[in-house]
Structures are given as structure tokens and as C-alpha cells.
Chain A
Amino acid sequence: MSMLTDALTAALGTTVQFDKKQYPPSIILCSVPRDKFGRAATVLKKTYALLAAEWATDETYFGGSLAVFACYRWGNEYMIVRSELPLDDPSFPSLSKKFVPAYRFERQMQSLMGVVPSGHPDLRPWIKFEDWPQNVFPLRKSYDASCPMQRTKGEYQWVRAEGEGVYEIPVGPVHAGIIEPGHFRFQAVGETVLNLEERLGYVHKGIEKKFEALSWKDGAKLAGRVSGDTTVAHSIAYSIAVESMTIGTVTERAHWIRALFLERERIANHLGDIGAICNDAAFAFMLYQFSRLRELVLRTNHKLFGHRLVMDKVVPGGVTADITNEGKKDILSELDLISREFERLVVIYDESSSLEDRMRDTGILSPEKARELCSVGIVARASGLNLDCRLQHPFPPYDRFEVNVPVLISGDVHARVWVRVEEIRESIRIIRFILGALPSGPIYTDIGLPSPDTSGFAAVEGWRGEIIYWIQAGPRAEINRCMVRDPSSVNWLGLEQAIPGNIVPDFPLCNKSFNQSYSGHDL
């Protein structure tokens, strides 16, 4: 028995029903009556579990109605708690006073699925814009997604600050640089930011709804385009979730090659990020040096695997790009060059007092706040939370070898840079190990299709952090619902909390150090 199951059954007794159709079997899915949904959260919070995701489904195809789900993480366990809601009264107890990230999850659920979190302190729409018609819920099965949506009148209600000398700075959605769109609104006095409010949803493309119209095979393509910079990690997460629902097994070699792709993606993105963060502190030298190293990684990818970002190379059943002995040599000599150059640049970073002046004590996300916000990935690890799926919930091949995960507690921009520095070193070590230990065999097996009426789950550590996929197969074994939780969905809250008290010119620096995905959040 697991710790979370024990706690839940002790508190709620026989009202907890365990579901046997959830795969892999290590993930516990249980149903509780709707009025116990909040109580379950309280119980799990007392066992120090964190909220990983919350979402709603439309199960009318099963002859059911609507349902809400909350996924909790504690140590190496994941537990999903489910409650059914009737169609005519789709309300459920809000979790946002127990777990902060539920605040946005529930706004999003209400906007897109039309379930009502009762007791939620702020029910302004999220992702849904004010010019959408009122009672339109795209994720409902009754909604026809192919029709364009009308525009109505409406205005977003911003949080206001008043007082002498208080002014507002609206930024976006079209930003100054080559980045994704989103809106930030600062209230400031002089140079100091009093409050930052984010408004996202500009790149909402209806990805979750689109999944429901695709075959299992095409789903992998879409998963690879949830967030372009994390294409490998998203396709791995999608594939593992699908594979958990089928009887076939993926070959060892395929698993190891996936890990190779994943670590290369981590190195490429971290290299780009460190350069861009330094550039936001007006140290352009680093940007050009690091983007040179990043380009070298992408070029090797293109040469060996046929795509610079390794898009569409991970599919359910395995991978579609193999590596030869020549390719191994290419990667090893590339890594030698990169690690040598990288270490020289790290020394320059470390010795530069003007950089240190900007990076240290800027944009602090305290460990207490990071925990309260259930942060994940690099943001969590820079703020003292030792969270990494490769460690706590290892997907193959990470269950075969050790991964060293850097954890810092200062939670400032420097900590987020330094977590990246340490992770690049570790990923280089892992890739060298993978190339030495790569098992032989085929890279693809036909795994068949998921059985009807089952659900699959996967948690994969991408370069930003934990990515969760939860996929439900419908009665005809089609995709009934595909829930995507990019790390950005929770970590954007961290940025909002890290900014107040900093000066306005430090915002780009802080934002870049978080570097969350807009597309992965908006879906």
C-alpha cells in the first residue's frame, strides 16, 4: 500500500473507490463523491503531497457526465482523485485555498469545460478571452470545434492599485524581442514593482480539443508541437502514456535513444538560456558564445537525426531515428569541444562582478513560496525543492543509472542559472554514459492500440521540468481526452510571485531566468 492510499482510506473510508482501468498500475486512480473532493485534498496536503495537475473531462460518450480530476505527487507516488459531476449542476469544491496552483487550473477548467469550482476566490476567465460568447465550452463533447467562434463585447477586469505615485505599465501581447505573446501588467512606484499580473492565453490553439480528433499516431505529431523547444520531452511523455495502455513493450534501445534525445534537448535549451539571461544583463559576449555552442548541438542533431530540434523522432512504439557508430563518435567529439568551451565560459561568468551584481538577490522565489506554488523543474530546484521525475518517478532508462540533480536554495536569478550550469554538466556525463551502454536491437515495435475505456499516465522530466500527460481512451478506443500539463502551467505563478519588490528594469532578466513556455501553457 502506498502512503497516499493509506491516508485517504483512513480519512474517507469506503467512500473511496479504486479504479482498475488506470495504467501504468503504479499510478493510483480513485473516485470519491463530489462533496469529498475538497476533503481528499486536505487529507493529502497533510501528508505533504503537492498538487501536480487538476483537470476536467466530458464522459458523455461513456454514458456518464462530467468529471473533475486532481493529481497529487508525494515522493515517488502519483495519485489521481476523481469526482463525477452531474451535467445539470457541474459544481465541485474548489481546491484553490488548499493548493495555490489550483487557482489557475480551476479558472481554466471553468472557462473551457464549464465546471464550477464553488468557493473559488476569483472566477475571471482564464485562456478564454472576454470576447468569447458566455456559455461556450470548447472541451465539451457537444461543442463543434471546427466552427469559428463569434466575438462578443467584454472587458478583462485587472487587479488595480491606487495611491499617490502609483502608475501602471502594460506590456504585450506583442513583445519587444523575438518571443511568444503574453500580457504583463505592472503596478509600480518609482522603479519598484508593487504587483505583477500576468494574462496569458494569446496562443491558445485548441490543442487539447485537437487531440480528440486525431489518431493515436498523429497525436505524437501534435504532442511534439505543444511547445517547440520541448518537442522531444512532450513526444516522449505522450508516447509513454499511450504505451502504458497497450500490451506491447518498447525495446531497450528505443528507451535509451529517447534519453539521448532528451538530454541533448536539455543541453541545447540550457545553453541558449544562459546566454540569453546574460544578454538581458547587458553582457552580449555570453549570448554570442553560448548561441554558438547551441548551434553546434543543433547541427549535430540535424546531421545525425535529420532534424535540428529532433521533432517527430519519438513515436508510440519507439523512435524513428537510430544512431550508428560513426554518429556516436560525432557526438563524443562534439561533447568534448562543448564541455571545454563551456567550462571556460562558466569561469568568465563566475568572475564577472557586474553580472553577479545583477544576478544575485534578484527575482527571489523563496523555498516556502516555491513549495506553496507546487513549482516544478529548474524553478523548483533553484528554490530548494528536490523534484525531478528522473529521480523520483524514473521512466526507462533512468531507472538503470544514477542521475545527480543540483538543488540550490537562494531562489534568485543566479540560482536558476547555476542549476542550468550543473545540469549541462550532468547531461554531458549522462550522454557519454548512454553512448557507452547503448543496448543493441530494433528501435521500433508495433505496440498495437490502447484498449477502450482505459486511461494512461506519464510524467517526464523535460528541460523545464515535469511534463504530465493523462490520456483517456473512449468506448471505441479513440482519444476521448488528452490532458497536457506543461511545467509552465504551474511555474508562471512563480514568476508573478518573484517580481514584486524588484525594479522594473530587472523584469526581463527575471523573466528569462524562468523562461516559461507560453504555448505550453495556453495549449
Chain B
Amino acid sequence: MIRILYQIFRTGLITEPLPAAAEGEIIQVGTKLEGAIGKLFRGSLTIRQVDAGSCNGCELEIHAINNSFYNCERFGIHFTASPRFADMLLVTGPVSRNMEIALRRTYNATPSPMLVVAVGDCGCNGGIFGESYASLGGVDKVIPVDAYIHGCPPTPAAILNGILKAVSG
């Protein structure tokens, strides 16, 4: 036990303020995000992540926004197991043919109002997989999408930026 406490104190707080968005926004994304979530979602934005056919690269980076550096919980963002509790669907793609029905069902199970954010180049437009017998292309081919986060995979900071964009509409 003493080792655990010692390690926690030695590590200290490593959470850092978010870098400004690529377009040169001066105000830090984090504060804006916190403000938007506070106003629109009463301080809590609940996300259901759906992998609709990605290569799992995007999942790794979505995981990373939970780590102590990005610490998305400080803005009130947390991930839920059930679409019934979700305010936002974070969908990675391309949407495979075999996941189409499951994605539609998840969408229908999410109470409105809700936001849908497509993550990664494949989620935005099908990426390298494009459209074929097995891949339907971007997420918006199957369900309506409110915001897009480009990148292969997008960095954790880009994902947080994209969530902000979606929230502030």
C-alpha cells in the first residue's frame, strides 16, 4: 500500500492544459469545452463509443483522452456502456456492411436530442477502405452526422477539439 501511495505522490498531477486548436484559436480548447458542456449538458457529457468497422487505431486514441495527460473527465466528459444514457455517439468507421444494422440499432436506442460525431478519416469518408461490397464508406452514409474529426488516427487533442466543435454546434 505504501508503495502505491508513494508512486501516486511521486507522479503528481500530470494533467496538462490542452494545446490551442490547429487553426490558431487563442482560447484554450479545454476552457471552452468545459463552458459549453456546463451550459448545454449541465456539466456532464456522456459518450457512447461505437466502432463500426475501424482498424482500432482510432480506439487507441479515444482511449488516450481518458489518460492522465488529457483527462477528459475534468471537462465532464465520460464514456458510458449503454447508448440509453448517451448524449453523444462517437463513431469510428468505415461502416462495414456487417456492422450496419448494429450501428442503426445503437443510434435508435440513443435518446434524442443527441449528437453524432464521426472520428477518423475512415469515419468521415471511408478512408483507404472506400466503398465496396464489405464497406459502406463514411458514417454519414448510414446515420446523420453532426461533426467530423479528421486524422488517421486523429490525435487525442484533435478528438477533444472535435467534441468541442460538435457541442458548440
Contact = CB atoms under 8 A, between A and B. Distances in A.
Asked whether A and B interact, the reply is: yes
Interface of A: 129, 138, 143, 145-149, 173-174, 176-181, 201-207, 209-210, 221-222, 225-229, 231, 272, 285, 288-289, 291-292, 294-295, 298, 302, 308-309, 311, 344-345, 347-348, 351, 517-519, 522
A346 to B, nearest CB: 11
Contacts of B46: none
Given A204-B134, A348-B3, A292 B54 contact: no
A146 to B, nearest CB: 6
Contacts of B11: 289, 292
15 contacts: A143-B133, A174-B106, A181-B102, A205-B129, A228-B59, A228-B153, A229-B57, A285-B4, A285-B8, A292-B68, A294-B67, A302-B155, A309-B57, A348-B3, A519-B54
Contact of A210 (B7, B14, B61, B129): B129
A517 B127 CA distance: 20
Interface string B34-49: 0000000000000001
B32 interface: no
Interface in B110-128: 127-128
A288 B7 CA distance: 11
A292 B67 contact: yes
Interface residues of B, number: 50
A149 B96 CA distance: 11
B15 to A, nearest CB: 10
B53 A202 contact: yes
A258 to B, nearest CB: 19
A209 B132 contact: yes
A522 B99 CA distance: 12
Nearest to B7: A344
A173 B99 contact: yes
Contact of A202 (B61, B62, B96): B96
Contacts of A285: 4, 7-8
Interface of B: 3-4, 7-8, 11, 14, 49-64, 66-69, 79, 81-83, 94, 96-99, 102, 106, 127-136, 152-153, 155
A202 to B, nearest CB: 5
A203 B68 contact: no
B102 to A, nearest CB: 5
A154 to B, nearest CB: 13
Given A292-B67, A308-B61, A222 B56 contact: no
Contacts of B55: 225-228, 519
Given A202-B98, A205-B135, A228 B56 contact: yes
Contacts of A206: 129, 132-135
A129 B134 CA distance: 11
A315 to B, nearest CB: 15
A409 B94 CA distance: 40
A145 B152 contact: no
Nearest to A231: B57
A112 B72 CA distance: 42
Contact of A308 (B82, B97, B155): B155
A288 B68 contact: yes
Given A203-B51, A205-B94, 14 more contacts: A145-B133, A146-B132, A174-B50, A178-B51, A181-B52, A181-B102, A202-B96, A228-B54, A229-B56, A285-B4, A292-B67, A309-B57, A348-B3, A522-B98
Nearest to A292: B68
A199 B127 CA distance: 26
B57 A228 contact: yes
Nearest to A213: B132
Given A292-B67, A311-B152, A178 B59 contact: yes
Given A206-B132, A285-B8, A289-B11, A179 B96 contact: no
B94 to A, nearest CB: 6
A413 B111 CA distance: 39
B55 to A, nearest CB: 4
B95 to A, nearest CB: 10
Q: Which residue of B98, B102, B152, B155 has the most chain A CB atoms within 10 A of its CB atom?
A: B98
Nearest to B65: A178
B36 to A, nearest CB: 22
B131 A146 contact: yes
A222 B128 contact: yes
Contacts of A272: 60, 63
A221 B127 CA distance: 11
A228 B66 CA distance: 19
Contacts of A181: 51-52, 99, 102
Contacts of B59: 178-180, 228
The 5 A-B pairs with the shortest beta carbon distances in the complex, nearest first, are: A228-B57, A206-B134, A176-B81, A291-B67, A228-B55
B56 A517 contact: yes
Contacts of B3: 344, 347-348, 351
A272 B56 CA distance: 14
Contacts of B134: 138, 145, 149, 204-206, 209
Given A173-B102, A348-B4, A205 B53 contact: yes
B133 A295 contact: no
A142 to B, nearest CB: 13
Given A146-B132, A174-B102, A311 B56 contact: no
Nearest to A268: B60
Contacts of B66: 291
Contacts of B99: 173, 181, 202-203
B97 A149 contact: yes
A470 B82 CA distance: 41
A148 B98 contact: no
